[in-house]
Structure formats: structure tokens, C-alpha cells
Amino acid sequence: MTKFVDPDASLDTPRLTNSTVTIAWISADHRDFAHAVAIRQQVFQQEQGVDAALDFDGRDRTAQHLLAWVGATPIGTARIRSLDAYTVKLERLAVIPSYRGRGIASQMLRWVLQHLDRARVQTVLLHAQLYVEDLYLKLGFEPIGTPFVEAGIPHRKMQRRSPGTSRMESDVPQTGVTKSGYASLCLTV
């Protein structure tokens, strides 16, 4: 699995005050993965009525995950899976209700796209819930095909092709998470 962690990022960035969002890469084995699980349960299962078996589909261990905090409060998560050497799928993007409407999902997406561009990922795919399709359009994603229903919710397949993606597979940087498990970037909200 290709890791998308920026090797130059500070890996021990402390969680900061309420005006700052801290975003970190974590694995399913990381001590904070339980927070990502809780956010997904709240947003997808409780709010949207998605079956737990659909949300937790057995692919978490082979994926990388984002976790976002404001201060010490976990507020958002996303999952990124490698489909091949050049393509990833962004999934399970969720922000808890009390932090929506503040641009946090946009910040999380910009952060992950920056890391994926550095790793020379050519294509990012996702299935966008139709009510948030504009969020992805603003970040350079393009719709593919017609809407469809997934987990009882209208979606559209979308993709983003990274600029300057022509490269050899051997050019893909191999990076990883150090023992702390964090690679983070702090963004002010």
C-alpha cells in the first residue's frame, strides 16, 4: 500500500486550541481510530440510516484514514484506499453536525489532495452524496455519469485528475507514518 504521508510534516504536532483544526493520517491500528469509527457511526449510521455492515465493509485495515480535531475534540474523518499505483478512492468523509458549515470538510479535502498530489496520485475517485456535490466541484472534481442510489442515498461518481500526472511507477515516493502515527497540518478555522 502506498502511504500518502508527507515525510517533511511534523509528526508530533500537539492538538491545538479551539480556533485550529488539526488533521492527521492514522491507520486502523492507531489508538485514535476509535474516534474515526465513532464519527462514522454518528454520521452514517445514526443520522443517515446506513447499515453498519455497509459502512464497515472490511476495507479499513488496507486504507489510510484522516482524523480532524478542534482542540481535543475529534470532529471529522475520511478514508483513502489505493485502487492501483495511480488511483485512489476517497470514502467515508464525515464531519460531526456541530462543526458543519465551517469549511472543515473543505480543509480536510484540500489537505488530503495536497498529499495525494505530492505522492503523484493521478486520479482520485469518489461517490459524492448529491447534496454535497458542489463541495467536490469547487475542489476540481468532475461528475461521471448519472446519479445512482448507494446505501439508500442519491450519489454521483466523481473524479479529480491531478495536474502533471504523467510519470513512471518507480517515481512514486514511498513514505510512511513514524512510530507516533501522526503526520499533521494545522489549519485555522
What is the pTM (predicted TM-score) of this model? 0.78
Which pLDDT belongs to residue 9?
40
Domains of the chain: 20-188 (3.40.630.30)
94-102: list long-range contacts, CB under 8 Å, 24+ apart: 94/39, 94/40, 94/42, 94/43, 94/44, 95/39, 95/43, 95/68, 96/39, 96/42, 96/43, 97/43, 97/47, 99/70, 99/75, 102/189
Q: What pLDDT does residue 64 have?
A: 95
Over the chain (189 residues), the average pLDDT of each successive run of 10 is: 42 42 93 96 96 94 95 95 95 95 92 92 96 95 95 96 56 34 38
